[in-house]
């Protein structure tokens, strides 16, 4: 593997008395699709907010391509090539799909024509071309997820943070979306994704980090992680790993 | 689409410029000049609030700054009004920048921002009323010295055309902003600040730029008020009336559209004048404030039946200006 594009170094984030993330460290290899998974409330969204700059960590550093970006503002990180989508979609409601995507495209293209041309190109990559001149409000849930993705892509990122882009989609919509995400990786963009749709995580990711109660409890390939006893316990409760093993043995 | 909108600005400009050639009565001329001044102030508000979503209740702060700077530069420093005009506009922009820096850095949004701008305008009104430099409660009087070099016109049509030139300039500026990256960022900030930041928009810088431009336009309106009436006091310069006019016109006309403030100012002031004269004819006496009742009713009707404003009712116009957003 090449050098990590993103390096999270023992990040802790507390909100008042609540510790959302506890000394979490992990890295993301350049060019990979890396997953960040964990049960609800594990601190994944907080971790994303820290990486993108929406939250400042209480302790720890975030390094991006070797440089410390911990104190940088959100828009500065976007300029450096970190883009994110939001779990709860945040369309610019009063604008058309094209104008929505163009806001992202403007980051590297001052001229309106260039930004709009790039917006159309990005829309075709995520399958939004027929909706370009419709209001963002007219989009379905799946469409809005695609719009989130398109806007982030339009900033021409090097590292793309995807916060549950598959959540709320039906199985056929997920099947449509998976190849889109893979094609983004193939175009040279590194992807870090938070996702609950396990089947997609397992098929997309080369590497997975597991966050539970704010701590990184495991990391590795999808196959190793899914067999890790601590991971199974985190998802299914204390003692689950043993019981599952017992069931396996009984079957054998 | 884009050509249509530059074209529509040109057509509107031509029609408005021809106005005094058709209607020569002084009353009508005074009315359209005043409507032009309000349009200018309203266009300033529209850029900050209509496009940027930052609702100010205190545009009087900028109007008054422009008006008083225009007056005091002439009366106290003896500057020629043609020189005082750009300086007063710059001072207005500076006041806008400072108020913006103080409130946006403190992350004030929505109603908090609105209340703070209202407070700034009130503070300026009270200070202006108290200080002797500004003429205190007695106000300031610009000595009457008619002459084009002194921006006091014998032919009132010249003043109207001067104000109109600024109104058309403001229309062009708004249209250009709406079609620029700054405009796209401004609208994105209005729609969803966090999403905009994630896409690389420096929302603080965008808002500061917007409030500065906005304040400059509204200050220009104040300058022309001074040159029209040659008298100012704190209640006129910094009074809530202009804050209300500056926001009512775009809301009624259509926020975030190029022509909204112009249409709104025309509709509001036109109906107000009409009501005043009809009422005076019916009862034989003037009823001061009756136009404010009309303003209130118009606001309620707009919010209830045309939330996009009058421009929202005119499809082709809207498409041409909205496409620029």
Whether the pLDDT of residue A13 is over 50: the answer is: yes
Nearest one of B101, B200, B189, B109 to A53, comparing CA atoms: B200
CA distance A113 to B321: 16
Is B184 an 8 Å CB contact of chain A? yes
Is B149 an 8 Å CB contact of chain A? no
CB-count burial class (<10 Å; 0-12, 13-18, 19+) for B26: exposed
Closest-CA residue of chain A to B53: A94
User: CB-based contacts of B176: which residues, under 8 Å, 6+ apart?
Assistant: none
Which residues in chain B have Cβ-Cβ distances shorter than 8 Å to A83? 198-199
What is the pLDDT confidence band of residue B290, given thresholds at 50, 70 and 90? confident
Could you tell me the sign of the dihedral formed by the alpha carbons of B229, B235, B238, B239, in that order?
A: negative
- Rounded to two decimals, what is the model's pTM? 0.90
Q: What is the pLDDT of residue B3?
A: 45
List pLDDT tens digits, range A176-213.
Answer: 999 999 999 999 999 999 988 888 899 999 999 999 99
Whether the pLDDT of residue B230 is over 50: the answer is: yes
Whether the pLDDT of residue B1 is over 90: the answer is: no
Q: What is the pLDDT of residue B4?
A: 54
Closest-CA residue of chain A to B189: A92
CB A232 within 8 A of CB A245: no
- Contact across the interface for B194 and A107, Cβ inside 8 Å: no
Q: What is the pLDDT of residue A252?
A: 56
Mean pLDDT over residues B287-296, rounded? 82
User: How close A107 gets to chain B, by Cα (Å)?
Assistant: 6
Whether the pLDDT of residue B156 is over 80: the answer is: yes
Nearest one of B297, B274, B263, B280 to B50, comparing CA atoms: B263
End-to-end Cα, chain B, rounded Å:
12
Which residues in chain A have Cβ-Cβ distances shorter than 8 Å to B190? 94
Tell me which fold the domain A4-91+157-251 belongs to. Answer: Rossmann fold (3.40.50)
Strand order of the sheet with strand A159-163? A82-84, A159-163, A190-194, A33-37, A207-212, A215-220
Could you tell me the sign of the dihedral formed by the alpha carbons of A94, A98, A104, A107, in that order?
A: negative
- A77 vs A252, more confident: A77
User: How close A55 gets to chain B, by Cα (Å)?
Assistant: 12
What's A135's DSSP letter? B
Whether the pLDDT of residue A92 is over 90: the answer is: yes
Chain length of chain A: 252
Whether the pLDDT of residue B325 is over 50: the answer is: no
Is A72 an 8 Å CB contact of chain B? no
- Contact across the interface for B184 and A102, Cβ inside 8 Å: yes
Which residues in chain B have Cβ-Cβ distances shorter than 8 Å to A152? 198-199
List pLDDT tens digits, range B49-104.
Answer: 999 999 999 999 999 999 999 999 999 999 999 999 999 999 999 999 999 999 99
What is the pLDDT confidence band of residue A136, given thresholds at 50, 70 and 90? very high
Q: What is the pLDDT of residue B287?
A: 74
Is A122 an 8 Å CB contact of chain B? no
What is the pLDDT confidence band of residue A79, given thresholds at 50, 70 and 90? very high
Whether the pLDDT of residue B321 is over 50: the answer is: no
Mean pLDDT over residues A149-164, rounded? 95
User: CB-based contacts of A113: which residues, under 8 Å, 6+ apart?
Assistant: none
- Contact across the interface for B184 and A75, Cβ inside 8 Å: no
CB A78 within 8 A of CB A155: yes
Is B246 an 8 Å CB contact of chain A? no
Is B236 an 8 Å CB contact of chain A? no
Which residues in chain B have Cβ-Cβ distances shorter than 8 Å to A112? 179-181, 184
CA distance B300 to B310: 13
List pLDDT tens digits, range B234-285.
Answer: 999 999 999 999 999 999 999 999 999 999 999 999 998 888 888 888 887 7
- B290 vs A61, more confident: A61
Could you tell me the sign of the dihedral formed by the alpha carbons of B312, B315, B320, B322, in that order?
A: positive
Which residues in chain B have Cβ-Cβ distances shorter than 8 Å to A54? 194, 197-198
What is the pLDDT confidence band of residue A216, given thresholds at 50, 70 and 90? very high
State the average pLDDT for chain A. Answer: 91
Reduce the DSSP state of residue A18 to 3 states and report it. Answer: strand
- B290 vs A30, more confident: A30
Query: In chain A, count of helices (H) and strands (E)?
Result: 10, 10
List pLDDT tens digits, range B97-124.
Answer: 999 999 999 989 899 999 999 999 999 9
Which residues in chain A have Cβ-Cβ distances shorter than 8 Å to B196? 92, 103
What is the pLDDT confidence band of residue A245, given thresholds at 50, 70 and 90? confident
Q: What percentage of residues in chain A have a pLDDT greater than 90?
A: 75
List pLDDT tens digits, range B172-220.
Answer: 999 999 999 999 999 999 999 999 999 999 999 999 999 999 999 999 9
């Amino acid at each position: 593997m090449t050098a990590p594009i993103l390096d999270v170094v023992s990040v802790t984030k507390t909100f008042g008395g609540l510790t959302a993330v506890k000394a979490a460290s992990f890295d993301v290899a350049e060019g990979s699709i890396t997953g960040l998974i964990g049960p609800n409330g594990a601190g994944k969204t907080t971790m994303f907010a820290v990486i993108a700059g929406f939250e400042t960590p209480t302790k720890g550093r975030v390094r991006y391509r070797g440089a410390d970006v911990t104190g940088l503002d959100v828009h500065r990180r976007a300029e450096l090539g970190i883009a994110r989508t939001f779990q709860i979609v945040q369309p610019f409601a009063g604008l058309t799909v094209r104008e929505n995507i163009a806001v992202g495209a403007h980051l590297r293209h001052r001229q309106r024509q260039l930004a709009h041309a790039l917006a159309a190109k990005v829309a075709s990559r995520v399958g939004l071309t027929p909706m370009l001149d419709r209001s963002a409000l007219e989009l379905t849930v799946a469409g809005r997820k695609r719009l989130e993705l398109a806007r982030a892509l339009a900033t021409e990122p090097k590292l793309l943070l995807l916060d549950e882009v598959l959540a709320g989609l039906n199985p056929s919509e997920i099947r449509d979306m998976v190849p889109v995400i893979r094609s983004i990786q193939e175009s040279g963009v590194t992807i870090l994704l938070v996702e609950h749709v396990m089947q997609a995580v397992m098929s997309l990711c080369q590497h997975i980090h597991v966050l539970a109660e704010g701590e990184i409890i495991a990391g590795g390939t999808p196959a190793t992680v899914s067999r890790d006893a601590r991971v199974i316990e985190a998802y299914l409760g204390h003692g689950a790993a043993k019981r599952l093993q017992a069931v396996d043995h009984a079957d054998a | 689409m884009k050509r249509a909108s530059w074209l529509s600005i040109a057509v509107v400009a031509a029609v408005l410029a021809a106005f005094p050639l058709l209607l020569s009565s002084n009353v009508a001329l005074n009315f359209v000049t005043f409507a032009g001044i309000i349009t200018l102030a309203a266009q300033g508000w529209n850029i900050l609030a209509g496009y940027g979503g930052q609702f100010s209740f205190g545009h009087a702060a900028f109007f008054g700054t422009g008006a008083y700077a225009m007056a005091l530069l002439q009366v106290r420093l003896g500057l020629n009004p043609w020189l005082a005009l750009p300086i007063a506009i710059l001072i207005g922009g500076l006041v806008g920048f400072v108020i913006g820096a103080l409130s946006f850095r403190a992350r004030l949004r929505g109603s908090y921002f609105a209340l703070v701008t209202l407070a700034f305008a009130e503070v300026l009104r009270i200070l202006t009323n108290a200080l002797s430099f500004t003429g205190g409660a007695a106000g300031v009087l610009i000595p009457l010295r008619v002459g084009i070099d002194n921006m006091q016109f014998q032919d009132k049509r010249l003043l109207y055309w001067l104000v109109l030139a600024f109104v058309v300039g403001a229309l062009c500026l708004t249209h250009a902003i709406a079609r620029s990256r700054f405009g796209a960022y401004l609208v994105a900030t209005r729609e969803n600040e966090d999403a905009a930041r994630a896409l690389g928009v420096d929302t603080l810088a965008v808002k500061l730029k917007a409030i500065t431009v906005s304040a400059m336009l509204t200050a220009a309106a104040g300058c022309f008020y001074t040159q029209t009436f040659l008298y100012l006091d704190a209640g006129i310069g910094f009074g809530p009336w202009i804050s209300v006019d500056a926001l009512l016109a775009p809301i009624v006309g259509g926020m975030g559209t190029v022509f909204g403030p112009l249409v709104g100012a025309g509709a509001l002031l036109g109906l107000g004048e009409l009501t005043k004269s009809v009422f005076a004819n019916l009862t034989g006496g003037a009823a001061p404030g009756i136009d404010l009742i009309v303003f209130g009713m118009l606001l309620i009707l707009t919010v209830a039946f045309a939330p996009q404003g009058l421009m929202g009712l005119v499809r082709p116009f809207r498409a041409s200006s909205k496409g620029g957003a």
